[in-house]
Structure 1
Amino acid sequence: MKRDPGFYDYLPYQGRPQIRWPGGARVAFWVAPNVEFYELNPPRNPARAAWARPAPDVQNYSYRDYGNRVGFWRMLETMKRCNVRGSVSLNVAMCEHHPEVIQACADNGWEFYSHGTYNTRYLMGMDEAQERAVIQDSIDTIRKHTGQKLDGWLAPALTYTDRTMDLVAEMGLTYVCDLFHDDQPVPVKTRSGRLTSIPYSLEMNDTIVYNVNQVSPRRYGDIIKRQFDQLYREGEHSGTVMCIPLHPYLIGQPYRLAAFEEALQYITGHDKVWLATGREIAQYYNEHYYDAFAQAAHPVGEAP
Structure 2
Amino acid sequence: MQITFLGTSSGVPTRSRNVSSVALRLPQRAELWLFDCGEGTQHQLLRSELKSSQLSRIFITHLHGDHIFGLMGLLASCGLAGNVQRIDIYGPSGLNDYLQAASRYSHTHFSYPIKVHVVRPGVIYENDEFTVTCGLLHHRITAFGYRVTEKDRQGRFDIEKAKALQIPSGPIYGQLKRGETVTLEDGRVIDGRELCGPTEIGRKIAYCTDTIYCDGAVQLAEDADVLIHEATFAHQDAEMAFQRLHSTTTMAAQTAYAAGVRRLIMTHFSPRYAPGNAIELKDLLREARAIFPKTDMAHDFMVYDVPRRRAVELNKLGVS
Verify same fold: TM over 0.5. Answer: no
Larger Rg: 2
Structure with greater strand percent: 2
Structure with greater helix percent: 1
Identify the TM-score tier after normalising by the shorter chain. Answer: 0.3 to 0.5
Q: TM-score normalised to the size of structure 1?
A: 0.33
Considering Cα pairs closer than 8 Å and 6+ residues apart, tell me whether 1 or 2 has the greater RCO. 1
